[in-house]
Amino acid sequence: MILDRGVCRILHKTSTTPSGGKPTATWAVIHESYYGELSFETAPARPTERREDTKTAARIRILQNRGIRNDDVAELTPFDGTEVKADYYRIARAWHGDDSDSGQPISDLTLEVTEKPNIQKAVTPTQSTGGSSSGSSAGSGSQAPEVSGNDGQ
């Protein structure tokens, strides 16, 4: 599958609570990748048979990152400039495996619409891991992210 729909940033809630202090948290960017859209059915044939009740808004495929968890947030920025239903989605399910066409390690995400998280203090992937990068900047809106296939493994 070609990941040509846009750019996806995955945000994870990180506690910033000092010891004994009032609970506070911020959202940190843990992964940035191109994404492709997957097909999905809005009215399944067996609606609640052994499944959790999920109101799916989108399904996408990104380069694999096994650090992505349910309840993280995905920010989607499409390339074509069309308006999307919502920019921010809660990850309801994450499936990690290999693309059947290319063999590339991928993560398939089932998304639900959510409200925009407070990401004013978001940390870029290089800051959160303490490693260095080859100059990728999460804040630059015009540049595409530099992506590696196995972040978080």
Rounded to whole angstroms, how far apart are CA atoms 58 and 16?
A: 31
**Model confidence, pTM:** 0.67
How does pLDDT run across 133-146, given as a tens digit for each residue? Answer: 344 344 444 344 44
pLDDT < 50 regions, the chain: 85, 121-122, 126-153
CATH code that applies to domain 6-129: 2.40.10.270
Token digits of residue 129: 């891991």
C-alpha dihedral over 35, 39, 43, 47, to 10 degrees? -80
The pLDDT tens digits of the residues spanning 48-66 come to 565 556 678 889 999 999 9
Confirm if 6 and 36 have CB atoms less than 8 A apart: no
